[in-house]
Structure 1
Amino acid sequence: MLKNILSIGAWTMVSRVTGFARDAMMAAILGSGPAAEAFIVAFRLPNHFRAIFGEGAFNAAFVPAYARVHEQSGNAAARLFLGRIVSLLLISQVILLGLALLFMPQLVALLAPGFEGERLALSVTLTRITFPYLLLITLATLYGGVLNASGRFTAAAAAPALLNVAMIGTLACAWVFPTAAHAAAWGVTISGVLQLAVMLWAAKRAHVLAKPEPVHFDAPVKGFFSALGPATIGSMGVQIALFADTIIASVLSAGAVAALYYADRINQLPLGIIGIAAGTVLLPEMSRLVAAGRTDDAHAAQRRTIFLTWLMAAPFLAGFITVPDLIMRALFMRGAFTAQSADAAAAALYAYGIGLPAVVLIRSAVASFYSRGDTKTPLWASLSAVAVNVVFKVLLMGPLQQAGLAFATSIGAWINLGILVVLATRRGYMVLDRRFWSMQLGIAVATLLMGVAMSFAESRLTPLIAWLPRGQEVGLLALVGVVGSVVYVGTTFAFFRALGIRLGRR
């Protein structure tokens, strides 16, 4: 399991590094002005739907169902089930694409009511370019789920980097397009073609590629849809909160949409590299063990995953809380991205950091329910958290601007995780023993000391790099990161050694 998590994490790191290069390039070219905000809306709209119908609901319902069919009925039955789902997915996505292209002005106006005139018109044009990405990436995500359920994780983890490569390529050739924003939008759709091609090739090599089959609502398909409905609504809950961010930010001060976007891009780094990677590995593993009646092994796998997730994510928490301004200046402050833009994004990053532990652990917590075919409990947990989230957005948008929206997101994430853990523990779906809590305590102490060390290092090391003509923030961030990492690793090792805890499989 650790090997698979690290493999996915490594490929996700490649995706995030190329994603940073893409965002840095976009920030330098577009900044946080009207064109940048128009593209961000055009990029977010298909991605919201992808998160609902692709990575979120579809995988939550499909992976356990596919694992059960494969475990109980063999390869032929699993391939037939997959072919029927492919047909249903194609039909639904083509209909959705047609409706979206037809009613695009209304969709964009709903997502960004503060946009008017040229900014609104540009957003509509760019979203019509990017929306076909949804059809392509949803099919790619489906085959990613099939490969994950088959124990093959590399292709699905590596494919997202193609989005960044394609956008970098089109931005580099921006002179060919009407504007740089058009170039970025076409890069999104081109990447969808590339990602789908890679996933189909990987599925063919793994002998899990299935052609569309005539739709027949047999028991496995009915079971899939009974799980899909609640999972879709549950995934919509998270996306509703993100929709609310964009809607409210569009009526705040200029640059609020861009500030949230760039802060969220950094916040997504630990979520993608660690949280999603861990959840991607854990769900098929727990589904297989639960289907085989090995619940104790399933609980042990979950404890290991939660521990490893928090062990690897905690350093990001220390950085986001103690040096968010340094992070944003070092990574993005160049070209059209000014110091004011960096300060606005840093405030949002700090607020997102407060909820980071909950955000990265939610995927591991929901596996308790999804692995047992229960998609209704995560639905209610998600909707409860979203209700609180939206209320706090309204309350905090005035005094804290975009940082208030990010802080409300963090509050919602903690509520979501709390509900999931309490219910899973009560039902016996999750067992967290004393050794587990001892290890969590060690990580918490190490994180606190790392934060203190990073804050101290920033103030003390600044004079040492003042002589650099350019890139002072980059050099300072690197030095502060090294100091914090040494403190974190040393403290964690010493704490576990004192408690007699060994980081072995058992």
Structure 2
Amino acid sequence: MSLLKNVGTIGGLTMVSRLFGFVRDMLLARVLGAGGVGDAWQLAFQLPNIFRRLFAEGAFASAFVPLFNRRMAGTDDLSEARRFAEDVLAFLIPVLIVFGGLALIAMPWIAGLFANEGIENDPELFDLAVLMARIAFPYLAFMSLATLFAAILNSLSRFAAAAAAPILLNICLIAALVTGMTLGDGVEARRATGELLAIAVTVSGLLQLVWLWFWARRSGFRMNLRRPRVTKGVKELGILILPAVFGAGVYQISRFIDLFFLATLPDGAYTFLAMGDRLNQLPLGIIGIALGTAILPALSRHIASDDHDAARRLQSNAIELAMLLTVPAAVALFVTGSAFTRAFYTGGAFTLSDAMATGAVTSALVVGLPAYVLIKVLVPNYFARKDTRTPVFTALAALMLNVALNFLLVPRLGVVGLALAGSVGAWANVALLYLLLARGDRFRLTLRVAGRIARIVLAAALMGAALWYAMPYGAAYYAGNALERIAAIAVLVAVGGVIYFVLAIVLGVLDRATLNRLMRREG
């Protein structure tokens, strides 16, 4: 299957999930608002999610897939790969039970580390945040097991089921919010809605696990429960996971650091960052996660069979596709971020000033959007070679820069400075990852690809200038009625899309040869 087709499958289903996520956040903004219960919910929701993205989707998947693919390479016999997966599953279950139990006990201390003054100074609100976090935390265990089945399906080139699974999370949360809307508008109704949301998170984790287990069995990969043993394969996975936490999870580690700095900011900062990140996550999820998920199994197979030319070609195609899609998305959101936040979030408990603050955060976040996607494209090149040490050093260097910039920018720019510091740190990580790949003769951009990227940047910049002039014409409609909002945003998207598409053709970025190259079957 081609890179473009794989990315299209994963990205298309991820887009459906992200659209459901938009509906979820629009309801969240109206029902819970910014600050108070809204901030408490964002804190409670982030704790299991950060651990999930850091350890399950980040470190575990990046370390497991190359080892699993090595046991599949060059044979139709999956028995060795199945034994390895069963050993990992048997070891993972008790680890998750112990870790989850300890986290539930320590939750007041964990929440206290990241609570801002508004939550910390209100004992009832703090207790609510702890309760919601405890109810939602089993989601981490369910999703860690689900990630194992997702990694197996992706290695078998069956990407659809894993890409569709997050839709279940958003459906459950939307159902909880719709139920909460029937409870009234008071503080007690908001607290009850928060508890319903926490229950929905855990239920969605169980549903996603069952969904992926079903599709793994449907694909012919049936696993049996074994007695937990530290086998050679499990030990090798454990050795890879620890540094992979830093190498593949720099974005999530940055989010942990962000929580510390968010605790020093005024009420509402949690919500502004979460809502802004929802817009940032739309292209990041559709493009970045899709590309990273699609290329890791293929890269692992190419490298295991010593086909380094194919590995370089795949890496080059992935970078070009990443830039082709993310640079215009970043430029468009940077220019029109406040228009989107006004249209999507204003209403109910979420005021126009809240929307404008969220728009500023969005613009700062998307400065790093192409970098976050490139990290997901470059890191698999290291993990496919079982090199987990190098990304540790690049991640640590980027984190040190991020923390330094937080101290410099947060006192001056508030939550916007926090978002901007993360973006700059991500670009530093990309630069280091690429330079070390080039130094080790593992991958270098050709002049042809570099020239195409330059033309992509030019096309996106010209599109951004056009959007800058077009955006004020719809100002009266961005916070109007539903039809006015939809029409105004649709016009902005259409203007940006048409201009970029035309410029991409005129500048030679999009042509038949490019499409044929991206459609070429990979591994």
Q: TM-score range by the shorter chain?
A: over 0.9
Aligned residue number for residue 80 of structure 1: 83
Change (3 A) 1:466 1:237: closer
For normalisation by structure 1, the TM-score amounts to 0.96
Partner residue of 2:313?
300
Superposed displacement of residue 314, structure 1: 2.1
Distance 1:308 1:466, change over 3 A: closer
One-letter identity of the residue aligned with 2:94: I
Cα distance in 1 between the residues matched to 2:198 and 2:439: 47
The aligned residue for residue 436 of structure 1 is 449
2:430 aligned partner: 417
- Comparing 129-138 and 248-257, the one that deviates more: 248-257
Residue type matched to 1:149 in 2? Answer: S
4+ residue segments displaced more than 6 Å: 497-500
Gaps of 5+ in 2: 184-188
Q: CA deviation at 1:15?
A: 0.2
Separation of aligned partners in 2, 1:369 and 1:466: 44
The aligned counterpart of 1:11 is 13
Task: Name the aligned partner's letter for residue 105 of structure 1.
Answer: P
Amino acid at match of 1:433: T
2:405 to 392, 395, 412: 392
Deviations for 1:255-290, whole angstroms, at most 9, x for unmatched residues?
111100100111111110000100100011100010
Q: Are positions 1:24 and 2:26 aligned together?
A: yes
**Partner of residue 476, structure 1:** 488
Shift of 1:247: 2.4
- Once the two structures are superposed, the pairs formed by residues 298-377 of structure 1 within 5 Å of their partners are 298-377=311-390
Counterpart AA for 2:404: V
Determine the structure 1 residue equivalent to 2:500: 488
**CA–CA distance in 2 between the matches of 1:165 and 1:467?**
26
SS in 2 for 1:90: helix
Which residue pairs with 1:503 in the alignment? 515
Aligned pairs (5 A) from 1:162-177: 162-174=168-180
Please give the per-residue CA displacement for 1:26-61, whole angstroms capped at 9, x wherever unaligned.
111001121111111110000111112200000111
Deviation at 1:254, TM superposition (A): 1.3
Aligned mates of 2:296, 2:460 — CA distance in 1: 28
Residue 59 of structure 1: aligned partner: 61
Residue matched to 2:145: 139
SS of equivalent residue, structure 1 residue 496: coil
CA contact (8 A) 1:263 1:349 kept: yes
Superposition CA RMSD, Å: 2.0
Higher mean displacement: 237-246 or 418-427 = 237-246
Change (3 A) 1:249 1:123: same
What CA distance in whole angstroms lies between the structure 2 residues aligned with 1:348 and 1:374?
Answer: 35
Residues 502 and 267 of structure 1: CA distance in aligned 2, closer, same or farther (over 3 Å): closer
State the 1:395 CA deviation. Answer: 1.4
Partners of 1:466 and 1:80 in 2: CA distance: 55
Alignment of structure 1 residues 175-190 onto 2, 5 Å: 179-190=192-203
Letter in 1 for 2:105: L
- 1:2 counterpart residue number: 4
Aligned partner of residue 210 in structure 1, secondary structure:
coil
2: CA distance, partners of 1:254 / 1:497: 45
Tell whether the 8 Å contact from 1:238 to 1:386 is kept in structure 2 after alignment.
Answer: no
Alignment CA distance shift 1:500-1:209 (3 Å): closer
Compute the displacement of 1:423 (Å). 0.3
Show the counterpart of 1:120.
126
Aligned to 1:37: 39
- Residue 207 of structure 1: how far off its partner (Å): 1.6
Deviation of 1:228 (Å): 1.5
One-letter amino acid of the counterpart of residue 458, structure 2: V
Deviation at residue 468 of structure 1 after TM alignment: 6.8
Task: Give the C-alpha shift of residue 226 in structure 1.
Answer: 2.1
Residues 338 and 355 of structure 2 are in contact (CA less than 8 Å); yes or no, is this contact kept in structure 1? yes
Counterpart of 1:157, as a letter, is A
Q: 2:480 and 2:42 mapped to 1: Cα distance? A: 34
Q: Distance in 1 between matches of 2:421 and 2:278?
A: 17
The aligned counterpart of 1:101 is 104
Determine the C-alpha separation between the residues in 2 that align with 1:467 and 1:188: 30
* Contact kept? 2:272, 2:357, Cα under 8 Å: yes
CA distance in 1, matches of 2:439, 2:211: 42
- Aligned-partner Cα distance in 2 for 1:442–1:61: 35
Question: Are the counterparts in 2 of residues 326 and 473 from structure 1 also a CA contact under 8 Å?
Answer: no
Matches within 5 A, 1:135-284: 135-174=141-180, 179-235=192-248, 237-284=250-297
Residue type of the alignment partner of 1:313: T
Q: TM-score, normalised by structure 2?
A: 0.93
Give the aligned partner of residue 460 of structure 2. 447
Assess if the C-alpha contact under 8 Å between 2:61 and 2:151 holds in 1.
yes
Distance 1:220 1:298 in 2: 25
Higher relative contact order (CA 8 A, sep 6+): 2
Offset at residue 9 of structure 1 (A): 0.4
Counterpart Cα distance in 2 of 1:470 and 1:196: 36
User: Could you tell me how far 1:403 is from its partner in structure 2?
Assistant: 0.2
Deviations 1:122-160 (A, max 9, x none): 100100110000000111111100111111100000000
Q: Percent identity?
A: 37
Contact 2:248–2:379 under 8 Å retained in 1: no
Query: Secondary structure, in 3 states, of the residue corresponding to 1:335?
Result: coil
Q: 27-36 or 234-243, which moves further after superposition?
A: 234-243
Greater CA drift, 396-405 or 494-503: 494-503
Alpha-carbon distance between aligned partners in 1 of 2:304 and 2:397, rounded to the nearest angstrom: 29
Q: Do 1:238 and 1:382's aligned partners in 2 also have CA atoms closer than 8 Å?
A: no
Q: Tell me how far 1:113 sits from its aligned partner.
A: 5.1
Which segment drifts farther, 319-328 or 287-296? 319-328
CA distance in 2, matches of 1:467, 1:51: 34
Q: Distance in 1 between matches of 2:113 and 2:355?
A: 28
1:474 deviates by: 3.5
**Cα drift, residue 473 of structure 1:** 4.0
What is the CA-CA distance between 1:311 and the residue it aligns to? Answer: 1.1
| Unpaired stretches in structure 1, ≥5 consecutive residues | none
Answer with 222-231 or 15-24: which moved more.
222-231
**3-state SS in 1 of match to 2:143:** helix
Counterpart amino acid of 2:472?
S
Q: Structure 1, residues 53-95: CA drift from partner, whole Å, max 9, x if none?
A: 2000001110000000122674111111000100111111100
Q: State how far apart, in whole Å, the 1-side matches of 2:94 and 2:193 are.
A: 33
Distance 1:394 1:468 in 2: 39
